[in-house]
Structure 1
Amino acid sequence: MSSEVLVEKRKLKNPPLNIHTLGDRVLRQSAKRVSKVDDEIRELARQMLQTMYSADGIGLAAPQVAVGKQLIVVDTDPEEPANQPIILLNPKIRRHSDDLALGQEGCLSIPGVYLDVRRPAQIEVAYKDEQGRPQVIVATDLLARVIQHEMDHLTGVMFVDRVENSLLLNQELTKQGFSKQAVKPVEAA
């Protein structure tokens, strides 16, 4: 069965949603579970995908567009029309590997800042799809990283909160005009 949330993978001059940036309080609030999967949720997912593609992103969480719902959209291959995006409602990591991978991350809410973050290399995530059906995905490499990054947004955590090199973090934030006071460090995964 194909997704009801098909969107063209292209940049829009006027994307439907505004992406909030580091320092906006909305990014630090915990999102609520989606209790009913309906057309309104599917439309939100559609608008999030359009906004993500317009910003050259590969993941976007509802809190980034000031919607306090546990909804993330992911497309690790936005240049490939045949590659379907993944829409995850109420995602929950059931298992993760003990081995950690260090990889560079960026965020649509912190434009221009790219830094290394250590995360589990493999995860198993349970979620509901855009039809409300329970799903489980085992993700590795980039997909695992993007899902974990976006899931952090659902609890008010930003990737800069996980950066271990504080000197480099402060340099990069300052260079892009962000306040290092907006960072709230968390323990590594």
Structure 2
Amino acid sequence: MSIQRIYQYPEPVLRQKTEKIATFDNGLAQLVEDMAETMYDAPGIGLAAPQIGKSIKLIVVDISEDKEGEKKFMPLVNPEIVAHEGNQIDEEGCLSVPELTANVKRYQKVTVAYQDLQGQAHELSTENRFAVVLQHEIDHLNGILFIDHLSPLKRNLYKKKVKKWLEK
């Protein structure tokens, strides 16, 4: 296992469309392990492949029940939201968008179709915070960052802040 570099806004790989995964092999399993290690090291509760420079449809999310105990994660290959209902507003942050948290409107309940590491199809229905995490990570697979859900004013303020960092 190895910790990967997390790409940060405005790096172009974060905006690229991702490719569907068709090969379920040891290389994919190794990538999932690397992503999980990178996510926990950051520390984060979700990570999408584009955040480590891979334009493929793969996410890992933390499913640990006890934050102090053993870390458990779930990989979702080719995840797609197939149903949703309700709305909620929750505070979000992102490993690829440093030094910013903001309230984002998301669906309250989602059903996600995905494949496991063996290529088997599954569906997962969830709500509240875990639904937010899944929507956030799946957005990454479509080149969408959580700042895209913010008001133009907040988004522009953040862009100006990043521009100043990059000029240093």
Normalising to structure 2: TM-score of the pair? 0.89
2:82 corresponding residue in structure 1: 94
CA RMSD across the alignment: 2.0
Letter in 1 for 2:36: L
CA contact (8 A) 2:78 2:114 kept: yes
Q: Helix, strand or coil: the match of 1:56?
A: coil
CA contact (8 A) 1:107 1:159 kept: yes
For residues 85-140 of structure 1, give each alpha carbon's deviation from its aligned partner in whole angstroms, at most 9, with x where no partner exists.
Answer: 1110000111000x111111100001110011111100000100122221111111
Cα separation, 2, equivalents of 1:92 and 1:170: 29
Q: Which residue of 2 is the match for residue 167 of structure 1?
A: 153
> Any stretches of 5+ residues in structure 1 without a counterpart?
1-6, 8-14, 181-189
How many equivalent residue pairs?
Answer: 163
TM-score, scaled relative to structure 1: 0.80
Structure 2 unmatched ranges of 5 or more = none
Question: Does the Cα contact within 8 Å between 1:33 and 1:69 map onto a contact in 2?
Answer: yes
Shift of 1:16: 2.1
Among all aligned residue pairs of Structure 1 and Structure 2, give the percentage whose two residues are the same amino acid. 36
Partner residue, 1:64: 51
Secondary structure of the corresponding residue to residue 69 of structure 1: coil
Higher strand share: 2
CA contact (8 A) 2:81 2:110 kept: yes
Counterpart Cα distance in 1 of 2:7 and 2:69: 27
Note if contact 1:59-1:76 (Cα within 8 Å) is conserved in structure 2.
no
* Distance across 1 between alignment mates of 2:53 and 2:139: 15
Letter of the aligned partner of 1:168 in structure 2? K
CA 113–94 in structure 1, closer or farther in 2 if over 3 Å, else same: same
2:145 to 122, 138, 158: 158
Question: Amino acid of the residue matched to residue 113 of structure 1?
Answer: L
